[in-house]
Chains A and B, each alone.
Chain A
Amino acid sequence: LQYNQAYYIFGRAIANRFCTKAQTYQQPDASFNKELSILLTNIRKELVTLLPQLQEISNYLFDERGKQIRPMLVYLMAKACNYHTDPENKSTLTNSQSAIGVISEMIHTASLIHDDVIDAAHIRRGKPTINSIWGQRKAILTGDYILSRATIALSKLRNERVVKVLSQVLDDLVQGEFMQLGSKEDRGERFNHYIKKTFRKTASLMACSCQAVAILSDPLNQFLHDIAFNFGMHFGISFQLIDDLLDFIASDDIMGKPTSTDLQLGLATAPVLYASDQFPELDSMIVRRFTHSGDVQRAREIVDQSDGMNQTKRLAYFHRDEAIRFISQLGESIERNALIQLSDDIVTRQK
């Protein structure tokens, strides 16, 4: 079973165990899979252009290979909110909510394309990057194209609030990238800087997409919007923490992209930052961004010896628990329980 299918059936099994009411919905598995398969079709519709090369490049990363966490998140959050707002109705997804899934996946992919140019990456999701095939210039312009079409789709929802919420993400993404360029000398500030950067680069999109579907579900219920946002934020942070952890653990064939990439890019993530508490020799390596020969290797060794990875895991668990704490305040539904299960899955995953 594919990752996302297995996860969904799992979630339902958990829900059945803990549910006290009979849930009389349509088969959620079937409708969920259907949603995912039409997501890609919908994205393609937004990207249609008469220019063949642009068409080819824009469609390139929209294939089955992504983890599609974000669309899953949006889909489940929307349904959980809809149920919370109106338990009597089948919590069907509105077209606008469905569009949020499309839009956030497009924003995410556009930012990946630019990231690959900035990092001079050659592999993404197991195939060559756009910049390595078509050059940096076209990669940048295609990223801009995808982003602009996402904004067009967003504006067509005719909801000024939702437009504001998702536009903020673009700002956060760029700020996060700038934050990654700079660094804080002071050890005390370093970790906060890292978490803030993590929020901007990863969690912001998730938090804002969740908030957007909550707004669409019930425009006046601020409580709902806050829950959705906070869930997305903690979910996103724990997601990224595990991502940073896996960069140290996983080997090349599982992940689809070469590992120790963070170190090679000069980035000090949670495991390294924690390890530097025990092993101050990491400090100078962090400051010089692991540029001396042997730095990457030595840093890896130190992290392995230290408690850094465990501490990272514990922090991820903390954010998972926070996410669950928030989402549990919604009325109980299959989708809400699935989100709880997903939060846990995120921190126990292997890739």
Chain B
Amino acid sequence: GLVNNKYNESKAKYSLIVLLMAKAAAGKNQMKGEREVDGIYPSQRSLAEITEIIHMAQMIHTGVVNLAEPITSEDDKELQLGNKMAVLIGDFLLAKASTGLAKLDNTQVVQLMSEAISELMEGEFLHSTVHDVIKVECKDYVNLWKQRTFLRKGSLLSKSCQSVLKLVNHDQELQMIANNFGRYLAYTQQLSLELKALQLDDTGSQVNNTSLTAFLALQNCKDTSALLTSNTEFYKHQKETLDEVKDIYETFKWKLLDYLKHFQDGDAKSALEKIVMTNVNEVEMFDLQAMK
């Protein structure tokens, strides 16, 4: 089978999700010429790989740490070399992604995936810290969080899910469903990550947070200065906020399961359902008391 049960589904890689999506939609299109294996065409495998490559490049380029120039100390010189390699390796990966996309002979897919990369980069310039967010004084913090998560994670996942269907001429409606599925899956993965981080933070130190929890706390709690000095103790007492987070999570979950109804039953669809539910279980098990 395609899915290894020992695999940690909540950390399912982009490429896995893209492939599962391809397989779950198999049989609904009229693609001739390419030979499919296990319901997946070679071009689709290529796209899954490209998606992972782009993700890697994003990690590497965003992981760079600023060094004050001119660089004089020996330690800094080593870090500088690290940055140099980060730029080059990231560029190498992006170039491979570009030439790979070009070979797929589908300019719409090239456009979609390039838009994803562009949005990834935009995400890095959007409200990086809680201080930025407070300055914005927005009315709808949930949307702000969604916007941010979309740019940084949702864009790549949603557009690659859409592209993998577009490659084999699935109809537009199904493509959009795949797109939305990817987007909401990214939301749930991000939420699950944030809650885990909250749970595990045993230092009691300041939680530098742009998590949904922090955003909602901001919306609920009028005293923003408390938020700025917040630590896990602070969040422990935010039962109302945490319940709200769980509710929002529920809506995401239902949307995701709804989207999946459009695909045919089989290995791939079950695997995707499992991925959705694993995230959900993690969130449902999130326990205020267990926060250290």
Contact = CB atoms under 8 A, between A and B. Distances in A.
The interface residues of chain B, by DSSP majority, are classed as helix
Interface string B86-126: 11101110111011011101111011001101100110111
Contact of A140 (B61, B107, B122): B61
A171 to B, nearest CB: 5
A117 interface: yes
A168 B103 CA distance: 10
B61 A54 contact: no
Nearest to B86: A140
Given A155-B108, A177-B91, A171 B96 contact: yes
A163 B118 CA distance: 17
Given A160-B105, A163-B110, A131 B69 contact: yes
Contact of B66 (A136, A147, A156): A136
Contacts of A272: none
Given A160-B105, A170-B95, A54 B88 contact: no
A168 B100 CA distance: 10
B136 interface: no
Interface string A120-145: 10100000000110011110111011
A137 B65 contact: yes
Interface string A149-189: 10110111111100110011011011001100100000000
Contacts of B122: 49, 51, 54, 145
A75 B95 CA distance: 26
Nearest to A152: B114
Contacts of B125: 51, 53-54, 138, 141
A151 B110 contact: yes
Nearest to B93: A174
Contact of B102 (A148, A157, A158, A164): A164
The interface residues of chain A, by DSSP majority, are classed as helix
A147 B111 contact: no
A181 B98 CA distance: 23
Given A148-B118, A158-B107, A163-B110, A171 B126 contact: no
A38 interface: no
B114 A151 contact: yes
A142 B121 contact: yes
B115 A141 contact: no
B29 interface: no
Given A142-B121, A173-B95, A117 B107 contact: no
Interface string A43-58: 0000001010110000
A293 to B, nearest CB: 15
A114 interface: yes
B87 to A, nearest CB: 6
Interface in A190-220: none
Given A118-B88, A155-B111, A159-B107, A144 B70 contact: no
Interface residues of A, number: 43
Contacts of B83: 117, 136
Interface string A26-61: 000000000000000000000001010110000000
B95 A141 contact: no
Given A135-B66, A167-B101, A156 B111 contact: yes
Nearest to A154: B110
A174 B69 contact: no
Interface residues of B, number: 41
Nearest to A120: B69
B288 to A, nearest CB: 36
Given A136-B64, A140-B64, A142-B121, A174 B95 contact: yes
Contacts of B61: 140-141, 144
B67 interface: yes
A163 B101 CA distance: 9
B121 A171 contact: no
Given A151-B110, A154-B110, A163 B102 contact: yes
A148 B121 contact: yes
> Which of A159, A164, A174, A178 has the most CB atoms of chain B within a 10 A radius of its CB?
A174
Contacts of A168: 99, 102
Contact of B92 (A142, A147, A178): A178
Given A144-B117, A170-B99, A163 B107 contact: yes
B108 A151 contact: no
Interface string B23-46: 000000000000000000000000
B209 interface: no
Contacts of A138: 124-125
Interface of A: 49, 51, 53-54, 114, 117-118, 120, 122, 131-132, 135-138, 140-142, 144-145, 147-149, 151-152, 154-160, 163-164, 167-168, 170-171, 173-174, 177-178, 181
Given A54-B125, A141-B124, 19 more contacts: A120-B70, A122-B69, A131-B69, A136-B66, A140-B90, A144-B94, A144-B117, A145-B121, A147-B94, A148-B114, A148-B115, A155-B108, A159-B107, A160-B102, A170-B98, A171-B95, A174-B91, A177-B91, A178-B92
List the 7 closest pairs (A to B, CB-CB), nearest first. Answer: A155-B111, A135-B66, A155-B110, A167-B102, A145-B121, A148-B118, A148-B117
10 contacts: A122-B69, A140-B61, A140-B90, A144-B90, A144-B121, A149-B118, A151-B117, A167-B101, A177-B88, A181-B88
Interface of B: 61-62, 64-67, 69-71, 80, 83-84, 86-88, 90-92, 94-96, 98-99, 101-103, 105-108, 110-111, 114-115, 117-118, 121-122, 124-126
